[in-house]
Structure 1
């Protein structure tokens, strides 16, 4: 683990109650991995089921954490803001539930200057919940 739950906001711009990742497990020039446990106080939880849009946000925050961590190694200081330019190829397979642990993997497919095309997959207990591609622009 690279960054624990207690320190995750040092590398992402999101703040409670909108933080959708607990820890950054791995980050390198090809991709990032995070974990997130769904707790009862999650704003996106309805009748014990997590909304699909929150899994997309989880993937976006995995990108923020990964790029934030890598940038902190190079530049130090505050994490850079990023913007989602597009979300495509969304596949919703299964819903996440209260107390599930979401393991998210993001692979960087291509980079042009500050624009990154990534593919993200959110899983729980080895089962794919959602996958998508995103264009992320770092400010």
Structure 2
């Protein structure tokens, strides 16, 4: 998937994560049912070990990608100072096929299976070029943190 500068969505509008835990650089596509993100693996990433982005990093990348679907309802007003917290409540199925290396840009795709209030079930996959790295079915819960 080609990254087009004019179509990028600021990931900070849809996720509460910040460095060093932010594992998505750009939202390439976002609807109420689907999201596509990109992430370039840098050498100083906390999930890099022996020049590879380890399984925990891939899972966190998928969770953050999936969170964008559910999180967008909390961030509809870009001027709002909304604070949310999200949790993986269940990983129903996960398969890891390969690990990306430092310098690789991975593309993660997630599709909503079902949603009830602030809980959703999402199918997701991550690719390095055409190679499938990981696929999973994840349940997420997001709630607004009241000040």
Query: What TM-score, normalized to structure 1?
Result: 0.88
Q: Is the 8 A contact 1:45 1:98 kept in 2?
A: yes
User: Where does residue 107 of structure 1 map in the other structure?
Assistant: 111
Q: Please state which structure has a larger fraction of its residues in helix.
A: 1
CA-based RMSD: 1.8
- 1:81 offset after TM fit, Å? 2.0
Q: Residue 36 of structure 1: CA displacement?
A: 0.1
Q: Does structure 1 retain, via aligned residues, the 8 Å contact 2:67–2:140?
A: no
The answer to whether the Cα contact below 8 Å between 1:82 and 1:136 also exists between their aligned partners in 2 is yes
Superposed, 1:60-139 pairs within 5 Å as 60-73=63-76, 77=80, 78=82, 80-139=84-143
Structure 2 unaligned runs (5+)?
A: 1-6
Structure 1 stretch 112-121 or stretch 66-75: which is displaced more?
66-75
For 1:78-118, what per-residue CA distance to the aligned partner results, in whole angstroms no more than 9, with x for missing partners?
A: 25322111012110111111111110000000112221000
Name the CA distance, whole Å, in 2 between partners of 1:136 and 1:129: 21
- Shift of residue 14, structure 1, vs aligned partner: 1.2
Q: Is the 8 A contact 1:122 1:129 kept in 2?
A: yes
Residue in 1 aligned with 2:9?
A: 3
Task: Indicate yes or no: 2:38 matched with 1:35.
Answer: yes
Question: Which secondary structure does the structure 2 equivalent of 1:129 belong to?
Answer: strand
Structure 1: runs of 5+ lacking an equivalent: none
CA–CA distance in structure 1, aligned partners of residues 112 and 53 of structure 2: 26
TM-score between the two structures when normalised by the length of structure 2 = 0.84
User: Matched residues in 1 for 2:139 and 2:117: separation?
Assistant: 12
Q: Is the aligned partner of 1:18 residue 2:36?
A: no
